Each structure stands twice: as C-alpha cells, then as structure tokens.
Amino acid sequence: MTVLTLPDIASQTTRLPSTLTWVGMEGIALPAQLGTRSVIVKLDAGVSLDDSEARGIHMSRLYLALSPLEDAPLTLPAVKDILSAFLTSQEGLSQHAYLNVEGELPLKRQALISPLAGWKSYPFSLCCQLTPDGFQAELGVTVGYSSTCPCSAALARQSIQQAFKEDFSEIPLTQSAVLAWLGSEEGILATPHSQRSFVECSLRLAEGENDELPIADWLESTIDRIQTALGTALQTAVKRIDEQAFALANGQNLMFCEDAARRVDKALRQAPGVSGFQLKVVHAESLHAHNAVARSEWNG
C-alpha cells in the first residue's frame, strides 16, 4: 500500500505577508474542576502570528495543549503552563499566548434564617496571557443582588406620614389604633421600588503567594466579599421567615447604583491578591424601562 504524504498548508508561505495579533480557536468545550465539581467551561485559545511570511499557525497543537486542564483544578499555574506550551508548540511563530476561560460557578447558598439552602450559578471569566512582558491574569465575575431606591423609600415614607396625619386627624392616638393602622394596607400605602441588580467586575490578579489558590476559591471569596458589602444577596430557597429577613436587609441597605458601586469598590480594594480592577453595577430599574449604571476602576 502506498502511504500518502498529507499536504500541510499551514507550513506554506503566505502571498499577503503581515503579522496577526491573535489566531486560534474560540468556544472549545472542556470539563474543568471547579471546587469539588466538574463543570463544562468554554475556552478561547490563541497565539500571535509574528512571522509575517508564515501561512498559518499549528492550530491542532493549541487544542492538544489544553488536555492538562481536563477534569483538573483550574489554577493560575496550570493556565501559565498551558500558555508556555502554546508558545513552545509554535516553533518561533508566536511570542504572545492567550487563554480565556468562561463558565459558571455553582455554589450552594444558605437561606437567611431557615435551615434551607439552594444553588446559585455565578458567571465568570478568566483571561490570561503570556507575553515577553510576563504573565497576566484577569478574573471576571457577575454577582446579582437586590437594590431598593433610597429616593423612592423617602417619598414613600413621606406619603405614609401624610396619610397618618389625615387618617388620625379625628381619631384618638391610641397604641392599638396606630398598631392596627400600621398593619393595614391603608397604612403602608406607598412602597419604594426595588430591582434585581448585578455587579460585573474584572480583577487583575497579582502574582505572588496566592498563585496556587484554585480559581474556584478566588471566585467564591470575591463573590462573598461583594455580597457582604451589599447586604442584599439574591436568595435561593425561601420561606416567609427568610422573606421577612430579606425585606429587612433591603430596608437597611437602600442603594442608588452609586452607593452600590462605592461599596463594592471599597470591598475589592481590600481583597488580598488583587492589584487592580474595573467594576460596573447595573440596576435594572422597575421605575424606568432603562438601567441605572455606575462604573469604577482602581489601578485600571
């Protein structure tokens, strides 16, 4: 039998010489270990094409270099090794290697009061590059929360005061009459608007003592830090006692988007291992058909 030599187009020279900043593949599915679970993540893997004459990169080698990530804990050293392998695999074609990981981290969350718990899923991204300037990693995460408008709350209080004045103008002010009034729908005749809101942040991770920490742990501590700063995390399993605690938490954490952005900004500046960040908070207003948004950055 004659053995055919397979044509290798990528090894040809191009008729249109020029360098390219990024060549590779987007949306590669792979099971990675996040915490104790195996989760399907999507990967974008690429390198620069610095040899202007070369027709193409060795794409299959990038794909194969991803295999150490399969079912392994996602860590910065693991990603850095893969980026090194990308560069080694391209035989002088490339000096810049990139790997982006996108997925959702599932976390079990306790109810506020009752012993119940349920699952929440947090979208995240990890964008890493290895270049002649060194290794860089940015961790992105989206965290949902509830926000109640402080202006709306003040206006509702004023309406309640006014109604109180009118309803009790001719009734004696006894404790039982006021209690009954407060418990009626006529008493609390105005409520502030609140909305499901979210923080999107991208953290630059500093190389150092936290390097070996699994990305799942980075994510969980960042999510907890943000949720603690805001005080109104979205809930999973909820009984009435939890709903009442949630209503109290909202009433005690009235927030414009500016308030929320400042709280998260302060919390992230104190996060160990973070050397800079960009953040955006979005309040998907129920008052408007558009969103209220605030952004902030530190060492951006």
Ligand X SMILES: Nc1nc2c(ncn2[C@@H]2O[C@H](COP(=O)(O)OP(=O)(O)OP(=O)(O)O)[C@@H](O)[C@H]2O)c(=O)[nH]1
Can you read off the two tokens belonging to residue 8?
């290798």
Here the tokens at position 173 are 């002010």
Q: Based on CB atoms, which residue is closest to ligand X, 60 or 158?
A: 60
Residue (of 105, 147, 116, 113) closest to 236 by Cα position:
116
Smallest separation (angstroms) from ligand X to the CB of 62: 8
Q: Which residue is nearest to ligand X (CB)?
A: 56
To ligand X, the closest distance from the beta carbon of 7 in angstroms equals 9
DSSP 8-state class, residue 190: -
In the beta sheet, which residues pair with residue 44? 100
The answer to the question of residue 156 lying near ligand X (CB under 6 A) is no
Binding-site size for ligand X (CB under 6 A) equals 8
18 vs 169, which CB is nearer to ligand X? 18
Between 71 and 91, name the residue whose CB sits nearer to ligand X: 91
For residue 19, the minimal CB distance to ligand X (Å) is: 15
- Residues numbered 4 to 63 that lie near ligand X (CB under 6 A) are 8, 10, 56-61
Are residues 65 and 89 in contact, defined by beta-carbon separation less than 8 angstroms? yes
Rounded Cα distance, 69 and 72, in Å: 5
**Secondary structure letter of residue 203 according to DSSP:** E
CB closer to ligand X, 10 vs 171: 10
Q: Which residues contact 19 (CB under 8 A, 6 or more apart)?
A: 48, 49, 50, 51, 52
Q: Specify whether the CB–CB gap between 129 and 96 falls below 8 A.
A: yes
Nearer to ligand X, 93 or 215 (CB): 93
| Shortest CB 89 distance to ligand X, Å | 8
Extract the tokens encoding 159: 């309406």
Q: Which of residues 61-120 bind ligand X (CB under 6 A)?
A: 61
**SS3 label, residue 104:** strand
Shortest reach from residue 52's CB to ligand X, in Å: 15
Of 64 and 171, CB closest to ligand X = 64
Using CB under 6 A, list all residues that contact ligand X: 8, 10, 56-61
